[in-house]
Amino acid sequence: MENKRNFIDVIKRIKANNSNYSLKDISTILVLIILWIALSTISDNFFTIGNFNNILLQSANVMLVSVGMTFIIICGHIDLSVGSIEAFAGAVIAVLVINYKLPLWLSLVLGLGVGLLCGTVSGFLVAKLRFPAFVATLGMDSIARGLALLTTGGQAVFGFPEAFKFIGQGYVGIPFIGIRIPFPVIIAFITIITAHILLKYTVFGTNVYATGGNQEAAVFSGVNIKKIQMYVFLIAGVLSALGGIIMTSRLNSGQATIGAADGMDAIAAVVIGGTSMTGGKGSIIGTVIGVLIVSSIKNGLNILGVSAYWQQVFIGVIIILAVLIDQLGKKKSVTG
């Protein structure tokens, strides 16, 4: 009898503890697994270490951008300028290193500074001047893209030193296992871990959720929402710049046209990963799975020889499906 009651208690506790993990978190992981199984049955080339390295490498910069986007969307905003910030930061570094012969480390710092600056401007417009994020970052998108084109003069800037190539093209051997992992993947991994800890275990993270979940209540609880809004845009700006640096290094040239689709891919990945567009809900882990789903689809369809146009259609369908699941979940919780 005593045992039975303990058992019921335990079950109750598990149920209550799990109230934070919705069906959707599990379903996104399931989608990814099903996708991988499907793709590897169709093609022998999909489920190989080489190809996984490839998927991770190709998605590294989108991963960084998406992590930044997760902060912004949880905070209840959106950032349309991330792709252009990538291009702007890459262009600035290329010109500084190649044309002005600045030391590499200084150029990298200044490149990240460009992202910081763009993020700060967007953040200022949204937090202090109460611009809708959509408008502020749409403007910033155009500004950053224009400045990137001006910086490079519209042409690819060539001639990076060897050291710069390592950022985007280098491999790091992992001892004991004997696998070589692309350096961008390691950067992305470190960023993911840091962002996850920042969001889940610090005041800043809690305040981001509070600001996105219920801005009014956050103010009444002593949260400095302006500061939080500034910071999320700032983080997204810096991470976009970092993504741009990686992309520039992979291309081995400064090009003002990179990252045009990254913003949309990032928003797609974040939404697929279960972060609510209305704010207050979501996780970095979800976003990572979202990015993997998007890039696996692209990679798989590439292997199968499906045209890039169809890939766009597929990703669109998946975004709509992801939001559909979210909507159905909401209805249930209102009525039951």
Binding site for another protein (CB under 8 A): 12-13, 15-17, 19-20, 197, 201-203, 206-207, 209-210, 213-214, 216-224, 280-281
Alpha-carbon distances, residue 139 vs 10, 67, 236 (angstroms):
53, 22, 16
C-beta of 327: minimal distance to another protein in Å?
Answer: 16
Shortest distance (Å) from residue 206 CB to another protein: 6
Task: Write the Ramachandran bin of 93: left for phi over 0, alpha for psi from -120 to 50, otherwise beta.
Answer: alpha
* 3-state SS, residue 36: helix
Alpha carbons within 13 angstroms on the beta-carbon side of residue 102 total 15
Measured from the CB atom, is 87 or 234 closer to another protein?
A: 234
Q: Closest approach of Cβ 223 to another protein, in Å?
A: 6
Q: Among residues 208 and 315, whose Cβ is nearest to another protein?
A: 208
Cα maximum dimension of the chain: 80
Task: Pick the closer one to another protein by CB: 155 or 202.
Answer: 202
Comparing CB distances to another protein, the nearer of 65 and 208 is 208
**What is the nearest approach in angstroms of another protein to the Cβ of residue 336?**
11
| Residue (136 or 225) nearer to another protein, CB | 225
Q: Write phi, then psi, for 47 (nearest 5 degrees).
A: -85, 65
Contacts of 197 (CB under 8 A, 6+ apart): none
Q: Angle at Cα 122 formed by Cα 119 and Cα 128, nearest 5°?
A: 120
Q: Cβ of residue 265: shortest distance to another protein, in angstroms?
A: 26
CB 209 → another protein: shortest distance, Å? 7
Q: Which is nearer to another protein, 222 or 305 (CB)?
A: 222
Residues sharing a CB contact under 8 Å with residue 106, sequence separation 6 or more, in sequence order: 96
User: In this structure, are residues 182 and 171 in contact, taking their beta carbons and an 8 Å threshold?
Assistant: yes
